[in-house]
Amino acid sequence: MIRSIAIVVITLLMFGAKAQQLTVSSPNQKISVSLVNLQNAGTGEWYLKIAYAGSNNKTTEAISRIDLGLVLNNQDYAKELHFVSSTKPVLIREQYTALHGKKSQRSNLGNEAAFAFENKSKSRLNLLLRVYNDGVAFRYALPGKQGSYTVNDELTSFTISPETTRWMEKWNPANEGLYTAMSNDKVQQQEWCYPALFNTGDSSCWFLLHESDVNRNYCGSKLSNTADKSKYKVTFPDPKDGRGKGEALPTISLPWQSPWRVIIMGSLADVVASTLVEDVAPASSLQKTDWIKPGLVSWNYWSDNHGTKDFKTVCHFTDLAAAMKWPYTLFDWEWDAMGNGGNLEDAIKYSLSKGIKPLIWYNSGGDHTWVSATPKDRMLTHENRVAEFTKLRQLGVAGVKIDFFESEKQDMIRYYLDILEDAAQFEIMVYFHGCIVPRGWSRTYPHLMTYEAVRGAEWYNNGPEFTFTAPEHNTILPFTRNVVGPMDYTPVTFTNSQFPHLTSYGHELALSVLFESSLQHLADRPEGYYDLPDAPKSFLKEIPTCWDETKLIDGYPGKDVTIARRKENNWYIGGINAEIREKRKTIPLSFLTSGKKYKLTLLADGNHDKDFKTSYSVVDSNSTFPVKLLRRGGFAALLTLVQ
């Protein structure tokens, strides 16, 4: 990371002998964050407010107030904080390469300042503030050299004006709910999952609330407006989570820093393209990474949830991966009970003989989960993991899927990170399921390939609800959950499982582009892919799972979305419609390299939901193309460089 004195003014406004307001702006001057004293004095309660300069040079007060403070078991850092000093702002300029995700070459530019406070007992609290071109991040720091304490409360709270439209998911430990759109008198009072999306009265000003760099020194948090409808307070886990196991309040040791409170901000396209949650996370802890290989995965659970008990079923899905040129197949739960012609070792040998690397499922185990599905407890301790990873490495297994965490308490955060550190020693990739939403860990631990933490295609097996809610839900996820990190929705299912689709085949194909996950588990049964026409089948043989560039073309949460992603010289586009009326769109291609020609393969909705209309043309950056989307329909496109 390169830091230099920032070319930015940190403004000090004097309202009296001790009163002060300090403002730090983003390098592009679009975002400004002010530190304000509630009592207009040098001592008291402090908050941040954020303004955004959007379209037509209009400045919007995006967040009018972010309350600050901590309460420890023996110290109060909130009500009577005395401002001591601030640092000169410095320009943070960092570039790094991501092994997977929505963008390979990352470049963060932001201005950083630190503010020091003292409480009544002269104990120090620091606030570190960064203002980037695509958002804001801040964290607390306690600079003492020793001591352990319990954090009884974090007072960080975001005041949101009633007219601000918001898309939020009611809190649930697996992060598998639906998003609700609300504003004004429709705003509900609940506990809420991260991330949460907001749109101010200025249509060009959107922001997404989240957190990053949650580590062993804290717990995961959520948002709650149960006490005040307009205030979303950072809230610790419920003591009942994880069957009541583990402490809900985090214990910290000095010196200490909190997780980053992250606010991605800008146009809707800026939000979708942002990598800020990973940008503020620590750099990769791994020296050797050539064993980390993203790719597509065949998966038998969606169409046959006891499929891995059957050796022949496992072989059929291995054959699917081989036929589709996908590098992986997943052996899901109950592989320890496999029969009907072979056991786990036989299935692994068969998979490797076809050139397919197996991934394998585990129950996270322990008293924190009611789920008894096996194998259980083999990931629970360091000794268990070393024994299991040793065996898996010898057998040729490439990665593990670990399920049912059911808590974001501090002990569970430590468990996640212990798994990642042990897996790295054996060059085993990791996929978390029934789990936390990404907190930037994929940068620090790049062998963490994906997370579930989404209501995905699995919910077609859980009841009739998803049949009707999936189309709208699918158009919200690219603006919310998938912004903050990889998301294994297990997409692209053409046949039906226990409950049917209402989405078209074009809609389903588009999800392979819209939903980013470096291990992308395609969930349909083999004939669902074998029976496709040649063009969409070829598309699914070639679709990447990690990207060099991502651009939102158009869309609005709950209505429709079209995203373009680049891999090397080729671009892939996915677009879907949530509504029950047909739509016609004209897709601009101005993002293509100027002066170059591309072959466009368009895979659009045909005459009915299960029909494709395929067309080919030559285009350039000045071109557009028309496309029809059926109700709940969609399309996919491939642009390959020809000149």
Helix/strand/coil for 222: strand
Q: What is the pLDDT of residue 3?
A: 44
pLDDT tens readout for residues 415-472 = 999 999 999 999 999 999 999 999 999 999 999 999 999 999 999 999 999 999 999 9
Average pLDDT of span 112-134? 97
| C-alpha pair distances (Å), 247 with each of 86, 146, 455 | 35, 22, 27
Residues in a beta bridge with 124: 118
Handedness of CA 588, 590, 595, 601 (dihedral sign): negative
Alpha carbon distances (Å) from 174 to 85, 195, 241, 454: 42, 14, 10, 8
3-state secondary structure of 62: strand
Q: Are 326 and 351 in contact (CB under 8 A)?
A: no
Please state the φ and ψ torsions of residue 540, each to the nearest 5 degrees: -75, -15
Look at the chain and count its residues: 643
Tell me if 164 sits within 8 A of 200, measured CB to CB.
Answer: yes
Structural contact between residues 72 and 152, judged by C-beta atoms closer than 8 angstroms: yes
User: Apex CA 394: angle with CA 391 and CA 400, to 5°?
Assistant: 60
Percentages helix, strand, coil for the chain (3-state, rounded to 5) are 20, 35, 40
pLDDT of 326 over the 60 cut:
yes
How far is Cα 453 from Cα 397, in angstroms, rounded to an integer?
A: 24
Cα angle, residue 123 at apex, residues 122 and 124 outer, rounded to 5°: 115
Contacts for 534 with CB less than 8 Å, ≥ 6 apart: none
State how far the alpha carbon of 336 is from the alpha carbons of 433, 514, 594, in Å.
19, 35, 55
253, 147 Cβ separation under 8 angstroms: yes
Average pLDDT over residues 507-517: 98
Helices marked H in 185-275 — which ranges?
A: 268-273
Between CA 200 and CA 637 the distance in angstroms is 33
pLDDT score of 280: 98
Q: What is the mean pLDDT of residues 24-43?
A: 95
pLDDT digits (tens, 9 = 90+) for 529-582: 999 999 999 999 999 999 999 999 999 999 999 999 999 999 999 999 999 999
The pLDDT of residue 381: 97
Which residue in 598, 603, 640 sits closest to 622, CA to CA?
A: 598
Does 9 score more than 60 pLDDT?
no
pLDDT value at residue 1 = 45
The Cα 115–Cα 126 span in angstroms is: 6
Query: Model confidence at 248, in pLDDT bands (50, 70, 90)?
Result: very high
**Distance between CA atoms of 624 and 640, rounded to whole angstroms?**
15
What is the model's pTM?
A: 0.96
Q: What is the set of domains in the chain, with CATH numbers?
A: 2-279 (2.70.98.10), 295-544 (3.20.20.70), 561-641 (2.60.40.1180)
CA distance 145 to 159: 34
Per-residue model confidence (pLDDT) at position 132: 98
pLDDT at 119 over 70: yes
Residue 401 has pLDDT above 70, yes or no: yes
pLDDT value for 10: 41
- pLDDT, tens digit, 9 for 90 and up, residues 161-204: 999 999 999 999 999 999 999 999 999 999 999 999 999 988 89
Vertex 381: Cα angle to 309 and 388 (nearest 5): 45
Q: Do β-strands 295-299 and 328-331 pair in parallel, antiparallel, or remain unpaired?
A: parallel
Q: What is the DSSP letter of 243?
A: G
pLDDT-based confidence at 125, cuts 50/70/90?
very high
Cα 263 versus chain centre, distance: 14
Report the chain's mean pLDDT, rounded to a whole number: 95
**Rg of the chain (C-alpha set):** 25
Q: Hey, which bits of 164-205 come out as E strands?
A: 165-169, 179-182, 191-192, 196-199
Spatial distance between the Cα atoms of 488 and 638, rounded to a whole number of angstroms: 22
- Bond from prior residue into 195 cis (ω within 30 degrees of 0): yes
Closest CA to 496 of 534, 461, 536, 472: 461
Q: Which residue is it, tokens 């060099």?
A: 548
Q: Tell whether the model's pLDDT for residue 603 goes beyond 70.
A: yes
The pLDDT confidence band at residue 20, using thresholds 50, 70 and 90, is low
Q: Residue 17 above 90 pLDDT?
A: no
State residue 12's pLDDT score. Answer: 40
Residues 6+ apart with CB under 8 A from 563: 272, 478, 513, 514, 550, 551, 552, 553, 555, 573, 574, 575
Model pLDDT, residue 527: 98
